[in-house]
Structures are given as structure tokens and as C-alpha cells.
Structure 1
């Protein structure tokens, strides 16, 4: 069965599950350029680097583009989803937490260099700091060694195509809402953003501006 057939099966299965009352969060990315904002682009570039190193992620990218990611949710340290293959498979990816030594180094590097959450979320930071934050060994992006993948499919490869699809779909969600990267890595924005002691919250986090940038709605903190 080819990917296009999976795509039609995915559409049919989605309609069937919704009709049964399931609440799903499908992810589709049909664009040639998989991401258009900073953190989504950083995530996708990291995956491309992993592919160049021999990790078999390309089948997952194809499943994503053909609408086979029927459900995906990001939570602290975890990605869960339902991916359509020959049938629907449940995937779970747990991320090894950032250890305290690495987290301390991140905090130290960010200290006094980020004056607003919007700057962090848009990636408008010093180049050296961005290189550290985007380096899987020193920053926020998880290296393949930090992924713990499981899938209900019979494929013993790691990652299987369905887990690979979930990893790429996570990047799509992060591109649309970069706060999800920090949620996934269990890092709070306030942990990295230096605030002026007497400044009101609205001066440090312009939710209206962020919403316009990423096309999302955020509650005022």
C-alpha cells in the first residue's frame, strides 16, 4: 500500500473516529518549506541534520504531508499521537529531561540577555546565544539519544515511520506556537527571561504582538 492510499484511509478513519465522538487534533503540513518561524525552523533543521546522519525520518515526513497524523498532543516531556499506516497506530515519545547542569548553563547564558518573552519566542537574540539554545547538546532541542519512542505498529525499526511522522508533526505545532517547545522541554519562559523589577507584565510579554506573529490566541498573563 502506498502513501496516497494511506492518505485516503486516514481521511476515512478521521471521519469515522469523529463520528464516534473522539476529539482529535490532526496535523497536516503540505508546504514545501516545513516551517516559517524561528523555533519551528530550528526543529526542522535539526531533524534534517539527523536524517543526514542516517536516521530514517523521511517516511514520517511523507506521512505528515499526506494527512496521516490524525492526532497529536504535546505535554511536558511527552508527545502522544495517532498515526495512520496500514491501520491506525498509537505512538508515544518520551524525552529525557534536560539535566540540571545543562539547565544551569542555559540559565547562565540567558541571564540579562533576554528582556522580553516575545524576543525569546521569535528567536530575536544574540547569535551566540541562539547557537547554544539550538544545539542539541547544550540547548533546548532534543537529540535522538534523548527520544524514547514506542508505537503499536509491528515495525521494529527505530524510529518507525509513525514515530518519525509524530516528530515532524511536533515541529509543525511548534512552528505555529513556539511556547509548545518550552512546554515539551519542561522549561518556563520566566526561567530564561530577565525582567525589569518594577516593569508590569505587559511590558515583558506582548501577547497581542505574539498572537499576530504566530496566528494564535494567548491569555494575558
Structure 2
């Protein structure tokens, strides 16, 4: 099933994050591929779009009806970049809901700039491409068409940028941390009434604890002992304790 773009003329992508993605990708495509890729995308020649960590894929039909496998790569965050991004993202508790609703606040990118990272491609050099067609070294018009389908998808769902960088919306939610004084809730606290009970026992006024049951060998079932030590030895042990009692 081909993907039909909403955009029928003019620029593709309306929200700032989609525009930024488009402009970065167009630097990679170059003027010739921009027009052809845009035309193919609007003609519905991209059959499907798959986004995963570091990779965008899709099949694109050419004018003769032949399918070509196009691919665009944007590297997932390295561990240090991931930590820096999450530190900023988790300082904005509203961010997961906003991204799920289609909004990626531009102010987040301004904060990320201090760590020299971005959820978006910072320039064309961060993007690479591949296609099964013979237009080498490319990028070909099939990659161009894939780019524009991705741009419109990101326009609606900026969380796809998280996916590309190896993240998910759930990662933006900060885990429950320690409470005041560095104590995790429920850790190092004493249940209600426990202090009083401990004090009473220390004074000898608390309730007496039941004594631990005493093992009575005379009541040992020789059949159960036999499972462990054998029937002959079990009989001797049972007889010994029975006689002693």
C-alpha cells in the first residue's frame, strides 16, 4: 500500500522539527534530487516506511513499476550523548506528553546545544544513505522520496526522532529517585508502631515471643528417613531415639 502525503504542493513539513529535518536532508540530497524525490513522494511511490534505531527504510516504485529498497541512516545516540539528552529531557516532566501529542518544544534543542547534541541531524554529514537501484553513489530519487515521507511522518509524530536516536517515550520519564536526605521512599523507615514495640521489648515489658518448636526424634517417620538414608539406617535411627525416649 502506497503512502499518500497530505502535502500536494510547496514545502513538505510544517512544524519546526519537521522543517529542520527536511532542511538537513535536503543538504544531503542536492537540488536535483529534491525535486524528483518530492515528486515521487507525492505520487505515492513510497510503499511503506519503517523507522528503528539509526535506520529509516522503505520500498519505492520507479516509473516502470520496479521496487527499490531505499535507506536513510541517522546514528543512534552514543552512551554519553544519551545520558546528556535524558538529563535535559527528564528536567521537563511534560515532554513525553507533548511529544506524544505531536509537539517537540524548540527550547529543548536550545538546552541540548550546550552539550553539542541534537535529536535532529545537526548537518548533512550525520546522514548516510543507500538504495538497491543503480544510481551510484547517489543519493538517488528513491532516497529523496523516502526522506519526504519521513519528514511528513515526523511532522505528525516527533517521537519518531526518539526512535531514530535509539530512545522511546518511556525513557523520558525519570525513574523514582531518593527522597529527602537521599533516602528512597520506604527505605530506612520504620513502620508505624514498630518503635514502640521495639522499646517495650527492650524493657522486658513486651509480649512474650513463642518458643521455637523442639524437634522430637521419637516422632520421626522412618518411612521419610528411608527416602534419604535407606530403610536399614532409618530403622536404626528411629529405634535409637524411640528407646532413648
Determine which of 15, 18, 25 is the counterpart of 1:40. 18
Q: Secondary structure at the match of 1:34?
A: coil
Determine which of 140, 162, 165 is the counterpart of 1:182. 162
Q: What's the CA shift string for 1:94-124, capped at 9, x where partnerless?
A: 3322112222221222342343412245446
Structure 1 gaps of 5+ residues are 1-23, 198-221
Alpha carbons of 1:182 and 1:157: their partners in 2 closer, same or farther (altered >3 Å)?
A: same
Determine which of 35, 38, 42 is the counterpart of 1:61. 38
Partners of 2:99 and 2:157 within 8 A in 1: no
Residue in 1 that maps onto 2:89: 110
Alpha carbons of 1:124 and 1:149: their partners in 2 closer, same or farther (altered >3 Å)?
A: closer
Structure 2 gaps of 5+ residues are 178-245
Alpha carbons of 1:100 and 1:188: their partners in 2 closer, same or farther (altered >3 Å)?
A: same
Question: How far apart are residue 194 of structure 1 and its match?
Answer: 4.5
Alignment of 1:1-221 (within 5 A): 24-28=1-5, 29-48=7-26, 50=27, 54=30, 57-58=33-34, 59-86=36-63, 87-121=66-100, 122-123=102-103, 125=105, 127=107, 129-131=108-110, 138-142=117-121, 143-194=123-174
Root mean square deviation, CA, Å: 3.2
Question: How far apart are residue 155 of structure 1 and its match?
Answer: 0.5
Bigger Rg over Cα:
2
Cα distance in structure 2, aligned partners of 1:71 and 1:63: 13
Cα distance in structure 2, aligned partners of 1:26 and 1:118: 27
Cα distance in structure 2, aligned partners of 1:88 and 1:44: 24
Q: How many residues align?
A: 170
Q: What's the CA shift string for 1:131-158, capped at 9, x where partnerless?
A: 35599x6111134333342211110133
Q: What's the CA shift string for 1:170-209, capped at 9, x where partnerless?
A: 1111222222222222212233344888xxxxxxxxxxxx
Cα distance in structure 1, aligned partners of 2:69 and 2:143: 9
Partners of 1:115 and 1:194 within 8 A in 2: no
Partners of 1:132 and 1:139 within 8 A in 2: no
Question: How far apart are residue 47 of structure 1 and its match?
Answer: 3.0
